[in-house]
């Protein structure tokens, strides 16, 4: 992690504390930075302990920020609960020895402890990060044509899945064609039923009591790019987040997401990743992101 990336993360914290109400300026006792050398020993354990620290003793009126910029991954889900059949993960420095931290663990440690009236803003600048907190609601942009389907991978729908099933198959008779068509339709019924069941289960089990907003660097099947800004290495999504929020703090969640996407896609480097916005429960994302509350 470069010094520039750490500065970006601290900029996130300063913006958050300045505009979101807890204190006029951040207090060191309320911030934990895990890039310090002593925190990189037993990194996985330190991350999990720090996640517990973040939510310990919180109540209504608390505002929290979690920022992760690092490696992300995936592994096969064996529970049958993930819509895409994969768990999303983050990779601590010692992940080869200690293991990755999966989305189920992140959700249990960060989301479940939050009471009603508590607010968490999570920023994940990592690969495969769209559902890394297993939040049930994903924002769909209905205002901008270029991003109407940006929340999901374009597989071609039923036609695309049918074409995939038919690829390489030789049809020597009408009966063979009919059999294949029957198989495709049966597969589609199972696919849609499983997808609906997993989504419903997620909404029932993973809905949060607190207000949770997660900005992620990309969809689950995508990767989040590293880049260089001002001669220093950083994450493209972190740079877009800080830049857009610094230029206009008082914007809606949907507006911030659109501006981040536009900056990444129309800037000089033309990034392919599509930042995402997820929530722990159904909320109005056209409301102003920043709550300005003066402190005495």
Point out the residues that are catalytic.
71, 127
Task: Using alpha carbons only, give the angle 83, 85, 91 rounded to the nearest 5 degrees.
Answer: 110
Q: Which residues pair with 69 in a beta bridge?
A: 125
Write out the two tokens for 174. Answer: 């009408």
Query: Could you tell me the strand order of the sheet in which 86-90 lies?
Result: 72-76, 86-90, 101-102
**Cβ–Cβ < 8 Å for 67, 11:** no
Q: Which residue stretches of 76-156 are H helix?
A: 95-98, 103-106
Residue 243 parent element (H or E): helix 236-247
Residue 105 parent element (H or E): helix 103-106
Instruction: Work out whether the CA dihedral 73, 79, 82, 84 comes out positive or negative.
Output: positive
Token pair 């740079």 is at which residue? 239
Nearest to 275 by CA among 127, 164, 121, 159: 127
């Amino acid at each position: 992690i470069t010094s520039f990336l750490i500065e970006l993360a601290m900029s996130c914290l300063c913006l958050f504390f300045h505009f979101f109400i807890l204190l006029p300026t951040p207090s060191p006792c309320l911030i934990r930075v895990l890039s310090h050398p002593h925190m990189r020993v037993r990194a996985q354990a330190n991350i999990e302990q720090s996640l517990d620290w973040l939510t310990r003793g919180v109540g209504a009126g608390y505002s929290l920020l979690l920022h992760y910029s690092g490696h992300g991954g995936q592994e096969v889900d064996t529970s049958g609960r993930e819509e895409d059949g994969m768990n999303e993960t983050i990779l601590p420095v010692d992940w080869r020895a200690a293991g990755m931290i999966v989305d189920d663990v992140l959700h249990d440690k960060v989301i479940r402890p939050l009471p009603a009236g508590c607010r968490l803003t999570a920023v994940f600048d990592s690969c495969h990060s769209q559902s890394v907190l297993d939040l049930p609601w994903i924002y769909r942009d209905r205002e901008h044509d270029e991003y109407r389907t940006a929340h999901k991978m374009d597989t071609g729908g039923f036609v695309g899945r049918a074409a995939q099933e038919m690829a390489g198959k030789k049809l020597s008779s009408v009966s063979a064609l009919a059999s294949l068509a029957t198989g495709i339709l049966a597969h589609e019924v199972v696919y849609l039923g499983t997808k609906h069941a997993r989504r419903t289960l997620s909404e029932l089990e993973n809905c949060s009591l607190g207000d949770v907003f997660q900005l992620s660097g990309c969809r689950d099947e995508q990767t989040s790019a590293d880049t260089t800004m001002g001669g220093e290495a950083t994450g493209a999504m972190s740079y877009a987040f800080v830049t857009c929020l610094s230029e206009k703090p008082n914007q809606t969640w949907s507006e911030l997401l659109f501006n981040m996407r536009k900056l990444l896609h129309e800037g000089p480097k033309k990034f392919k990743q599509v930042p995402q916005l997820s929530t722990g429960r159904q909320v109005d994302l056209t409301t102003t992101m920043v709550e300005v509350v003066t402190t005495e």
